[in-house]
Every structure is written in C-alpha cells, then in structure tokens.
Structure 1
Amino acid sequence: MRKLNLIAKMVFRKNMHSFSWWSLVLMPLIALAIIGGISWYMDQTNQPAQVAVAAPAAVRASLKHSSDPKFQPVTSAAAGQKLLKASKVDGLLTVAQATSPSVKLVVRDDGETVDPATIKTMLTALNTQAVAKSLGLSQAALAQMLRPTQVTVKTVTVSDGQLKAAANKSEGLKSILALAVGFLMYLFLMSYGSIVAQEIATEKGSRIEESILAAIKAQTQFYGKLLGIAELVGVQLGAYAVLGGGAWLLRRHWPALNDLLRLVDWQQIGWSFVLVMIGFFVLGILSYTILAALCGSLVSNQEQAGMAMQPVLYLAMIGYFAALMVSNGAGPVINVMSYLPFLSPMIMPARFGVDQVGLLQVGIALAINLVFLLGFSIFAARAYRANVLVYSDSGILAAFKKSRSVAKAQR
C-alpha cells in the first residue's frame, strides 16, 4: 500500500507542477471569462436605437415611453430626414394617422439595429386601442377581448399500455445537458488519457522500466498511476465545483450570470438525471483512462504515445456521435450500443434525457459498466506486466502479439 501511494503521489506532484495540466484546468475558465467579458462589454456599449417619429400627437405621446427603441418626436417627415442625414438618429418612422393600416420606416444601414417587428407590435396595439375607443369599448372590454388563450401542457409517458404523468421532465434541456457532459467527458479522456499514455511511454523510452519493476510490482505501478490520475481529476472537478458554487451564491450581484441562469428551469431537470450523468461520467472517465494506460504500455517510446491514443479516441468519437443521433430516435443499433462499455457512458444519459429509457434500463447499463470496469482493470493490470517489457516499432498490434508471448512465458 505504501508503494502504491508513493507512485500515485509522484504522478500527482509531477503533473501538478506541469504547465500542460494547469493549461487543461485553466483553459475552460479562461474561455468562460472571455465569453463573459465580451458579453459584459456588449451590454455596456450597446445603445438602444434612436428613431425619429413623425406622427399624430396621440401616437407620439404613446411611443415616447418606449426604452428600446427610443423615439424622438419631430414635426414632419422632412425634419426627420434631416436628422437621419446628419446621423443623429438611426431610423425615421412616419405615421399618417393614428389608425393608419400602414406606416413607413426608413433605417440607416450603419446605425443601431431597428427591429421592424417590435415597432409593428407597438403600432398594432395603439391601432387596436384607437379603434376600440372609436367603437365605444371600455378598457376592461378591450382587455378581455385581447386576453391570450391559456394552454396547459402536460407531458405523459406510456408504461404498460397506460398513460402516466411525467413530472419534472424537460427533454430538450436534458438532451443538451447530456451532450454537453458527453463532450466534457471526451475532453477529459483525451487530456488525461494522453497524460497516462505519455507517462508510461516516457518510462519505456528511457529504458528504466526494468529497474522500476525490480523494486515495485507491475500491478502496483499500474494502479498507482491510475490513482494519481484519479486524484488529478478529482482536484480539477473539485475546483470547478467550488467556483461554480461561488458563482451561484454571487449570481444576484452578477446580472449577466443571473439572467443566464433564469433561462434554465432547473426544477425540470430532476436529481435522478443529475445522478445518472455523474455516475456515467465517472465510469466513463475511469474506463477510458484504463484503456489509455493499457494502450500506452504497448508503445516503445514517447513519440509513439499519440498512436496509443488512437483506439481511445475512436471509441469515444463513436459514442459521442451516436449520442448526437439519439434525439432523432433510437433504433436497434443505438439500443444495443447504449449498454456496451465505453459507448454506454455517452449514449445512455442522452437516451434517459429524452425518455427513451427508464431508471431500470439505466440501472442495468450502470451495472454492466461497473462489472466490466472491475474485470477490465484486473485484466489491464495483468496485461500491463507483460506489455511494459515489450519494445516494438511495428505498431500496437505487433506489440500486443509479442506481449502475449511474454505473458505466456511469465506463467
């Protein structure tokens, strides 16, 4: 146990002091900061459009309370054109009479954006009020006439031939979150898979592996490296969790973030979906990291580490692209793939998000992945013992065949 912790500590400390790991941690935060800064700058610099309005007094009085766009009353269309030519306004709105069915809007192509639909909505409301007043309708009668129809939407699921209410469901939001987590998993496995593959390939390339194995068992070294990588992942996720929690607490003092969070109906996600995503994310990262370590033990030097990552990336790409197709419906192939290790962590959360499967199917997939992970880790540790003693420049397949011969000789 002491040697296991020693290996894990060495891997952890080595990467904690490396620029590549810190760039991996800070790059998403820097990207979010840049996006947030651009959004804040746009909010600060964007000014509402200025529109000159030549219209009857009643129309001018009603439009002057608008904040976006802002209307500037003028005595005539000619006066508005002078302001437009001098670039003092972004548009000119001409209304002949209060109940006119059509108006004229002229906008500058180099000015602030003037939305014709917004102006149309405003004028339509004014026209409706003017017509209602001419017909003698009261404000209460007008409000009742314009009252929108309330539509209550209820989502149901079909279970055993019965319709059952599906509470706290939001398929679109869950599908987006599942794909986002799948993409995050792809980035993590690409980064940490490369780290563990480089770690092993560097030791083999320097020809010190035999000396290490003379003092430490191959399985101990293998599990120690994985434990060190797991600690790095935990530190990164923990840092993100702390920053995310801090941003959540300070959201009321950050208008842009608060407005963004309001767009998401968090109550419709449900804790079951969150736990499913976390479970598959952890299993997926562990499975792919072990696979990367196994493939990394088959290369002979650091220059071949990229070759070791090819099988890992191919599997991850298949799983992610299959998850993208889930929203279009799941056929027999997608159904089977959602239970297969390496592919299931990306596909099953997406299927659960769009209500193609229930918690029973999710539990079965989790159990399959967990059992596979335990068996695969034992197999990978045993194979690692033979692989690290094999040096071949003919590729991974040739090294794998050679390692099988070494493994038989070690029995």
Structure 2
Amino acid sequence: MRKLWLIASMVFRKNIRSFSWWSLVLTPLLAVGAIGVIQWYVSHTHEPARVVVVAPRAVASAFKASADGDITYTVAATKTAGQRQLRHEDADALLVVPRTLDHAAHLYSRDNGQSVDAATVRRALSGLKTMDTAQQLGLSAAQLAQLNAPAQLRTQSVSFKARKMVVARSKTDWLKVILSLAVGALMYVFLLSYGTIVAQEIATEKGSRIEESILTAIKASTQFYGKLLGVTVLLLVQIGAYAGVAAIAWLLRDRFAVVRQFLATIDWSGIGWPFVLVMVAFFVIGIISYTVLAALCGSLVSNQEQAGMALQPVLYLGVIGYMAALNVSSGSGPILRTMSYIPFLSPMVAPARFGVGQMGLGMVTLSLIISVVFLVAFTWFSARAYRDNVLVYSDSGLFKALKKSWTLSRSSR
C-alpha cells in the first residue's frame, strides 16, 4: 500500500506542477470569465434606440412612459420638429401617430442610426388602440382585462405502452439538453487531457527503458494502480476547484449584475438534483474509464513518440459517444437506446437521454451500475494486460502489440 501511494503521489506532484495541467484547469474558467466580461461590456455600452414621437398628448405620454432599456421615447410638438431632431441625429427614428388610431401610423428610421424594432412599436400601438376602442365601447378596466386575457393551453408529452396512452416527461427541455451536451464536451476535453497524461507517463518510461529497473522494486500492478490513483486525484482536485468557484459565484450572485441576470434566466427547479447527480456520476466514471483505456493502450506502444497512437481508440470512442448525444433531442431509436448501456458510450448518451425524459431514473441507474461494474472488471483486466505489455516493445501497431502480449501471457502461465 505504501508503494501504491508513493507512485500516486509522484504522478500527482509531477502533473500539478506542470503548465499543461494548470492550463487545463484555468482555460474553462478563463472562457467563462471572458464571456462574462463581454456581456458586462455590451450591457454597459449599449445605448437604447431613440424615437421621437409626434402624437396626441395621451398617446405621446403613454409611449414616453413605456420606455425601456431598448427604446426611449421623446415627444415633439410637430412633424417638422421631429424631422429636425432626426436630421440632427438627435433621434434614431420618428414615429408619427394620427389623431385617431384607426388610421395607420408611420415610423421613419434614420439609415445611419440604431435599429428600431418595429414589432415593439407595433405592439405598443396595438395596446393603445385596444384601450381606445374599449373606451369608445364603454368597457370597464375589468372587462378590458378579461377581453385581453389569453386562452390557457396545457401541454403534455405522451407515449404508448401496451396500447395505453401514458403521460411522459417533456422532450423539449432545452436546458437539460444544453447542460448534457456541455458536460459531454467537457468530458471529451478531460478524457483527451487525462488520457494524454497517463499514456505519456507509461510511454516515456518504456521509451527510456527504465521499466526493467522499476519492476525489480515494484510490482507492475502496483505501478499501474498507482498511476491511475494519481490521475484520479488530479481529476477530483480539478472538479473540486470548479465546485468551489461555482459556490463562490452563487454566494456573490447579488453583487454582480451579469451573474444575477444569467442565473435569473435558468429555471433551476426544472433541473432537479437527480439530473445533476447523474451527470456528475457519469462524468467521473466516464473520465476514469477512458483513462484506464488510455493506460492500457499506452502500455502497448514502445516510446513517447507513439503516445498519440495510443490515444486513437480513446478519441474514436469519445467522438462516437458525443455525436450520439447530439442526436438525442431528435428522437430515441434502438441504436441510441443500446448505446445508453454500452460502457465508454453511456457516460455521454445516458445523461442526455435522462435529461429529455427518454430514460427513467431506474433505467439510468441500471446504466450507471453497468458502467461501474465494467469499470472494475476492465481495470482488473487492464492491470493484468499492463503487467504483460509493459516489457513488450513493438512498432507494429496497437492490435498486433496486443496480440503479441496475449500470446506471451498465455505462454507464461
């Protein structure tokens, strides 16, 4: 056990001091920070469009009171005065409203001015016309509110089981789809980075021919598990750092308008803790599974220059899983349903299908159990294969090297 922790601590200390690991940790944080700065700059430098209104007093006052962050309204006494402001670039558009709202109003926009949303102006005019018509008909404010009340429509997604219609979860939960795809993209970056770390660790030792000396003091399986443990601790440290930053942002959300506005756009009640826990569990298991695969493939190459070749199976599986997750929102076919239970693919596909309601909690739990059992068995198999591969030097490719290692393993038993 002491040797195991010694190997793990060496891998951990080596990588936590490296520039590549810190760039992996800081790049997502810097990207989020850059997006926040851009949004803050845009929100603080954006000027609302200026519209000068020529209309009856009541209508002009109503427009002036309806100003918001996108459009502001000023009042001009005559059309000539409004055109003067437009010519001197004191306004971006001129709105001329006739005395009776039954006639068409005119909106004149300056070519070199800010764009004015005609739909917003039209909605305001429609509201004023409705109020004017209600007054002419003698309707009260309560009657007008009842007249403008929208019709209620409740929507539900359904599926059919044994020819019986049952209510299903919504398949249009865009927030969960976006979160699933974002976590899948982050998983791909992580598996590429941590797969590279462990593959280069093993390939460098094999290329320098120091494995023979190391294995005289430490068992191959101890060395294998030690490297995986060190990389796993690095992964947990990175996830913990992100969780800490997220907690700080949540505590300080009221002090930063950008953070407050972003959080206000998210319906957190629609996400739920089961979805969050499923994503985190599959994320960790997926990264560790791909890291074990990278370690196995890394033991098949002969030197550090071939470490990129060792990552090819990792990258191929990652791309297949992510592309499958991208198609989850389009429907659930037999291929996607099968991928939800296949290790290496399920960490990306299952959370996405769970988020859009194509998998229930029991089904996604089964997929998670399959991934955990496979990870344990695959790690044991990879440790045995590492023991046989670590002293095998071959330039004939991964599959031929694995075949040669398998032959040597069988002959040594």
TM tier, smaller: over 0.9
Any idea what SS the aligned residue of 1:305 has? helix
Cα distance 1:234–1:59, how it changes in 2: closer, same or farther (>3 A)? same
Q: How many residues align?
A: 411
C-alpha distance after superposition, 1:113-147 (max 9, x if no partner) = 31111111111111111222222222222222112
* Aligned equivalent of 1:246: 248
Cα distance 1:162–1:268, how it changes in 2: closer, same or farther (>3 A)? farther
C-alpha distance after superposition, 1:147-175 (max 9, x if no partner) = 22233445666666666666899733222
C-alpha distance after superposition, 1:334-354 (max 9, x if no partner) = 222211111111111122222
The answer to whether the aligner puts 1:38 opposite 2:34 as a matched pair is no
Any idea what SS the aligned residue of 1:70 has? strand
Q: Distance in 2 between matches of 1:199 and 1:329?
A: 41
Partner residue of 2:270 out of 268, 271, 296: 268
* Aligned equivalent of 1:94: 96
Which TM-score applies when normalising by structure 1?
0.94
Indicate the RMSD between aligned Cα atoms, in angstroms.
Answer: 2.0
- Whether the aligned pair in 1 keeps the contact of 2:171 and 2:329 (CA below 8 Å) is no
* Most deviating of 185-194 and 14-23: 185-194
Partner residue of 1:184 out of 164, 186, 204: 186
* Aligned equivalent of 1:65: 65
Q: Distance in 1 between matches of 2:409 and 2:259?
A: 56
What one-letter code is carried by the residue in structure 1 that aligns with 2:122? K
Q: Distance in 2 between matches of 1:78 and 1:207?
A: 89
Partner residue of 1:311 out of 293, 310, 313: 313
Partner residue of 1:203 out of 202, 205, 212: 205
Cα distance 1:238–1:171, how it changes in 2: closer, same or farther (>3 A)? same
* Aligned equivalent of 2:7: 7
- Whether the aligned pair in 1 keeps the contact of 2:184 and 2:322 (CA below 8 Å) is yes
Q: Distance in 2 between matches of 1:168 and 1:244?
A: 28
Match runs of 1:4-403 below 5 Å: 4-68=4-68, 69-153=71-155, 171-403=173-405
Cα distance 1:88–1:300, how it changes in 2: closer, same or farther (>3 A)? same
Q: Distance in 1 between matches of 2:412 and 2:79?
A: 95
- Whether the aligned pair in 1 keeps the contact of 2:195 and 2:291 (CA below 8 Å) is yes
Q: Any unmatched runs of 5+ in structure 2?
A: none
* Most deviating of 281-290 and 154-163: 154-163
Which TM-score applies when normalising by structure 2?
0.94
- Whether the aligned pair in 2 keeps the contact of 1:99 and 1:131 (CA below 8 Å) is no
- Whether the aligned pair in 2 keeps the contact of 1:326 and 1:347 (CA below 8 Å) is yes
Q: Distance in 2 between matches of 1:153 and 1:306?
A: 50
Q: Any unmatched runs of 5+ in structure 1?
A: none
* Most deviating of 168-177 and 86-95: 168-177
- Whether the aligned pair in 1 keeps the contact of 2:157 and 2:170 (CA below 8 Å) is no
Any idea what SS the aligned residue of 1:264 has? coil
- Whether the aligned pair in 1 keeps the contact of 2:228 and 2:292 (CA below 8 Å) is yes
What one-letter code is carried by the residue in structure 1 that aligns with 2:371? N
Cα distance 1:169–1:396, how it changes in 2: closer, same or farther (>3 A)? closer
- Whether the aligned pair in 1 keeps the contact of 2:51 and 2:92 (CA below 8 Å) is yes
Q: Distance in 1 between matches of 2:103 and 2:330?
A: 44
* Most deviating of 270-279 and 35-44: 270-279
